Amino acid sequence: MTNGKQVHAEEVKTDAALARRLLVAQFPRWAALPLARVQADSTDNDMYRLGADMAVRLPRRAGAVTPMDKEHEWLPRLAPHLPLPVPLARAKGAPEGDYPYPWSVVTWIEGTPPPPQVDDRAFARDLAAFVTALHALDASTGPAPGAHNFWRGMPLARFDATLRQRFDWLSDVADIDATWARGRAWALIEGVFALSYYRGKNEAIAEAGRRVIDVVLADR
């Protein structure tokens, strides 16, 4: 549930009371700490800040569980080699009562989400340094593409049928049925998927998808 709107048909609703109950049942050492929902345009997880330096992360749908398992395993391995902090798992919780998914307590990273359009060279340099460091790591022993990363890294042909379907969903948006070079194609896939799926459900993500489409089209 994001800003009062259901994003996915199968998602569960969470609240601070649920997060507190899970802590009491499974991690009572943290159960008395202050707890507050993080207001964000999230798509898979709800976050609740826990004390000063942690957060409770509750998946809202089954598809968010597999990426969480990957992040628990791989982020601690990546973190020492990256120039910026990444959230690390402090504990992994189990389904409890009517809440059906594994969940986690992670480290809190202070900051705010960047605005949709950022005109900040320092921000750009920090982002570039992070991506450069990430790309420099040896990924040969890492996980292959799969459900844990929503099939990113697969051949583009795998998305052909789905992308054509999503183009039909966007029949009211002009000038999006061209063939692009590989990099533009990946950007277009993400933009089309975001706009077509999140329109009317999560406007922040939908608008981000629209901007990606606009940039790809402008760069023809």
Q: What is the mean pLDDT of each run of 10 residues along the chain (220 residues)?
A: 62 94 98 94 89 96 85 92 95 95 96 78 91 91 74 75 80 60 79 90 89 82
For residue 4, what pLDDT is reported? 53
Whole-prediction pTM value?
0.67
CATH numbers and ranges of domains, the chain: 16-107 (3.30.200.20), 145-218 (no CATH)
C-alpha 132/C-alpha 77 separation (Å) is 17
For residue 180, what pLDDT is reported? 46
Burial tier of 13 (Cβ tally within 10 Å: 0-12, 13-18, 19+): exposed
Instruction: Enter the tokens of residue 16.
Output: 């601070």
